[in-house]
């Protein structure tokens, strides 16, 4: 199951401690981000071990439009992470709904 930008923002605004991974490239992250951990899609395979203990924890992944993060979600689930959600529409949708804040 995935998550909408509205659901994510509501949970962030409520102060939930979320594990969010931004799989965009560093230059995209620098232009605009929501405070997620930046792990570019191409580095996910070697960075997996950094959070291997989080296999049961909910992990939310996002990118610019939702395509790369959907790939990251599939990769993480194949690696044994059981609760991965993709942000539908990515940061394009976030900025369309909430601006650059």
Which residues carry out catalysis? 63
Would you list the domain boundaries of the chain?
Answer: 5-98
**Looking at domain 5-98, does it have CATH number 3.30.56.10?**
no
Average pLDDT of the chain, as a whole number: 95
Residue 69 tokens, joined: 């993060």
User: Model confidence over 72-101: pLDDT tens digits?
Assistant: 999 999 999 999 999 999 999 999 999 975
Confidence bin at 27 (pLDDT 50/70/90):
very high
DSSP secondary structure of 35-89: S-EE--GGGHHHHGGGGGGGTTS-EEEE-SSSHHHHHHHHHHHHTT---EEEBTT
């Amino acid at each position: 199951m995935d998550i909408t930008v509205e659901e994510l923002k509501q949970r962030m605004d409520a102060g939930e401690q979320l594990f969010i991974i931004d799989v965009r490239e560093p230059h995209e992250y620098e232009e605009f981000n929501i405070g997620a951990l930046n792990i570019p899609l191409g580095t996910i395979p070697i960075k997996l071990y950094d959070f291997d203990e989080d296999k049961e924890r909910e992990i939310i992944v996002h990118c610019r439009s939702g395509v790369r993060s959907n790939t990251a979600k599939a990769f993480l689930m194949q690696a044994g992470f059981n609760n991965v959600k993709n942000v539908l529409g990515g940061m394009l949708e976030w900025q369309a709904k909430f601006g650059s804040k």
